[in-house]
Amino acid sequence: MSYTNRHEADVAPSRMFRPPFDFRRQARNNGNGNGKQMKAAPPEATNAENFYYLKQMNAKTPMVVVLTDGEQVRGWIEWYDRASIKVNREGAPNLLIQKHCIKYLYKQEEE
């Protein structure tokens, strides 16, 4: 037996092995199992509210804050945090307003 013959006999036939497809793994990876990628959940915070407050604070824009009981507070926003805003007013005391009491607010020039 020649060297090449012995070598050919020792080597297994070359064929590609492909494991069976695991549908459970695909469903786990995609989340829905139909081959389409799931859409990512929207972010918790967009920071749009923070951007709006900062813009109005820096410009000292006169604002109207309408409270849930219908009362209107006029002034400009001095600062804010997660739960409240501080409104400065001309000729009246400054107010610290809890955000859950605010129905909506708008620029005074839009009246």
Residue 66 CA: distances (Å) to CA of 8, 25, 73, 97, 100: 88, 53, 6, 11, 12
Distance CA 74, CA 65 (A): 6
Q: Looking at the predicted structure, is the pLDDT value of residue 9 above 60? A: no
Amino acid at 94: N
Q: Looking at the predicted structure, is the pLDDT value of residue 22 above 60? A: yes
pLDDT tens digits for range 25-68? 665 655 555 556 778 877 877 889 999 999 999 999 999 999 99
pTM: 0.60
CA angle 36, 45, 81 (to 5 degrees): 175
Q: Label residues 20-30 b or e (16+ Cβ within 10 Å = b).
A: eeeeeeeeeee
Distance CA 76, CA 30 (A): 49
Q: Looking at the predicted structure, is the pLDDT value of residue 16 above 90? A: no
Predicted local distance difference test score (pLDDT) of residue 8: 54
82 confidence band (pLDDT: 50, 70, 90): very high
Which residues are registered as beta bridge partners of 70? Answer: none
Cα dihedral 29/30/33/34 (nearest 10): -140
